[in-house]
C-alpha cells in the first residue's frame, strides 16, 4: 500500500465491538436508533410538528402605504461606515404612517397617512 492509501484508510472511524457503530466523537448529526429512520414521518420545517402546515388567509393583506399619496417602503443602504470599508448593507426605509381621519364623499374614514400628507391636509383645513 502506498502512503496516501494508508493515510485514507487510517482516517476512518474505528468500529465498535459489534462492528456497527463508530464512537460518538466520529459521528456526525443526531444519533438515531437503528431501524427508526423509515418509520418516523418527516417533520414539518415551519411548525416543527408532524402535521402539515396550514395556510390561513390574512384579512389585511394590503401593503402598508399612504392612503393619499401611495408612499410605500423603499429600498436603500445603511449609513456609510467609517474608514476605507465601502461595503454597503441593504435596508428598507419605511414611511412614517399615522392614523388619520379622512373625509371622502361625505363619509369620514380612518386611514393610514404619511406625515407629509397629514401636514398638508391640516394646513389646507385652516
Note whether residue 95 is domain-resident. Answer: yes
What's residue 104's pLDDT? 83
Please write the tens of the pLDDT for every residue from 6-50.
555 555 555 556 666 555 555 566 665 555 555 555 555 555 565
Count of the separate structural domains present in the chain: 1
* CB within 8 Å of 77: residues ≥ 6 apart: 88, 89, 90, 91
> Taking 60 as the threshold, does the pLDDT of residue 85 lie above it?
yes
For the question of whether the overall pTM of this predicted structure is more than 0.75, the answer is: no
What's residue 92's pLDDT? 94
Give the strand pairing for 90-93 and 74-77. Answer: antiparallel
Burial of 66 (0-12, 13-18, 19+ CB in 10 A): buried
Q: Which residue segment(s) compose the domain that 114 sits in?
A: 64-74+89-126
Range with lowest mean pLDDT among 37-51, 54-68, 73-87, 106-120: 37-51
Query: What are the grid coordinates assigned to 79, written together?
Result: 449609513
> Taking 80 as the threshold, does the pLDDT of residue 75 lie above it?
yes
Note whether residue 120 is domain-resident. Answer: yes
Note whether residue 93 is domain-resident. Answer: yes
Average pLDDT over the chain reads: 74
What's residue 86's pLDDT? 79
Note whether residue 80 is domain-resident. Answer: no
Amino acid at each position: 500500500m502506498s502512503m496516501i492509501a494508508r493515510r485514507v484508510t487510517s482516517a476512518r472511524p474505528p468500529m465498535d465491538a459489534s462492528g456497527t457503530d463508530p464512537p460518538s466523537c466520529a459521528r456526525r448529526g443526531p444519533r438515531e436508533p437503528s431501524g427508526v429512520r423509515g418509520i418516523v414521518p418527516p417533520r414539518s420545517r415551519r411548525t416543527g410538528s408532524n402535521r402539515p402546515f396550514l395556510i390561513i388567509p390574512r384579512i389585511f393583506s394590503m401593503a402598508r402605504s399612504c392612503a393619499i399619496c401611495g408612499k410605500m417602503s423603499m429600498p436603500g443602504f445603511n449609513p456609510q461606515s467609517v474608514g476605507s470599508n465601502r461595503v454597503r448593507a441593504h435596508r428598507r426605509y419605511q414611511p412614517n404612517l399615522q392614523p388619520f381621519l379622512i373625509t371622502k364623499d361625505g363619509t369620514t374614514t380612518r386611514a393610514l397617512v404619511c406625515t407629509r400628507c397629514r401636514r398638508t391636509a391640516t394646513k389646507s383645513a385652516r
